Structure 1
Amino acid sequence: MTEPLPPAALATLEALLAGPDPVISALRAQIPYTRVASGCDCGCATLDLTVDRTAVAPVPAATTPAAEAWYEVPENAGVMVFARDGYLSLLEIYTSADPIGTWPEPRFRKR
């Protein structure tokens, strides 16, 4: 069973996949067809993603992680988005502190 992306996760994903790079743009085009497949067992906000492969083409040159950013709040969190077989597959949040259960606001992204 899948669920829509929570608004805060969607905002984080859109912020990570912003910019003119053609691979990033192609992954960004998958966002409307992306849903949450499952969450992390540790209590953090990390999400396994699934994309409707009948609605959008894979991105052949996607690297993994496809994009990464650091945020000042909460607690110097790192966020990465991964692609597998050309499709968005994981939105991960990590820190050396306790698991982070919420997505950081894009305005806290370190430049």
Structure 2
Amino acid sequence: MAEPLSQQATATLKALLTGSDQVSSALRAQIPHTQVADRCGCGCVTVDLAVDRAAVPPAPTHGNPAADAWYVEPEDAGVMAFTRDGYLSLLEIYSASSEPITAWPQPRFVAR
């Protein structure tokens, strides 16, 4: 099911991985080589990611999530980027409300 990463998901990853550290820099370099491998079944915009490993090296060893933040708006939502073997593997959005978030909030609302 590989499909291109949406502009909104791309912008969200860039906003989430703003750090100047080696891990953030390496993961940002993977974004152009990343595709959507699958979607969450609940209807939210969470996506499983697949990176072309021949195109870009893995990020240095780090913990998971590789990055996480809350949103300023909506106030009850957050976003996390996970990796597997140094490569982006999941971009997850979550909310304290019972309703799934069906569209990526504006990246300017990511509170790092």
**Greater CA deviation, 89-98 or 65-74?**
65-74
Q: 1-side partners of 2:27 and 2:10: how far apart?
A: 13
Task: Work out the percentage of aligned pairs sharing the same amino acid.
Answer: 64
Identify the residue that residue 61 of structure 1 maps to in structure 2.
61
Identify the residue that residue 25 of structure 2 maps to in structure 1.
25
Q: Is the 8 A contact 2:22 2:60 kept in 1?
A: no
Q: What TM-score does the superposition give when structure 2 sets the normalisation length?
A: 0.93
Give the 3-state SS of the residue equivalent to 1:43 in structure 2. Answer: coil
TM alignment of 1:1-111, pairs within 5 A: 1-97=1-97, 98-111=99-112
Amino acid paired to 2:56: V
Give the 3-state SS of the residue equivalent to 1:14 in structure 2. Answer: helix
Q: What TM-score does the superposition give when structure 1 sets the normalisation length?
A: 0.94
Q: 2-side partners of 1:85 and 1:110: how far apart?
A: 27
Q: Note the alpha carbon deviations across 1:45-101, whole angstroms, 9 max, x for none.
A: 100000001111112313210001100222421100001011000000001111101
Q: Is the 8 A contact 1:80 1:92 kept in 2?
A: yes
Amino acid paired to 2:50: T
Report how many aligned residue pairs link the two structures: 111
Unaligned runs of 5+ in 2: none
Unaligned runs of 5+ in 1: none
Q: 1-side partners of 2:62 and 2:103: how far apart?
A: 26
